Structure 1
Amino acid sequence: MAVDLLGPQEGFAVLVALLRRPDAQGPTEERVVVAQAVAEAWQQFENTVREPDVEAEAAREVLASYDPTELAALYTSVDLHHLMWHVPTVINAWPGQPGPGVY
Structure 2
Amino acid sequence: MSLLTEGQRTKLIANFRANQQGLETLDPCPVVKIITPDANATWLLTEFDPCTELFFGLCDLGFGFPELGYVALADLETCRGALGLPVERDRWFKVTKPLSAYANEAARTGRIIA
TM-score range for the pair, normalised by the shorter chain length: 0.3 to 0.5
TM-score, scaled relative to structure 2: 0.30
Structure holding more strand per residue: 2
Structure holding more helix per residue: 1
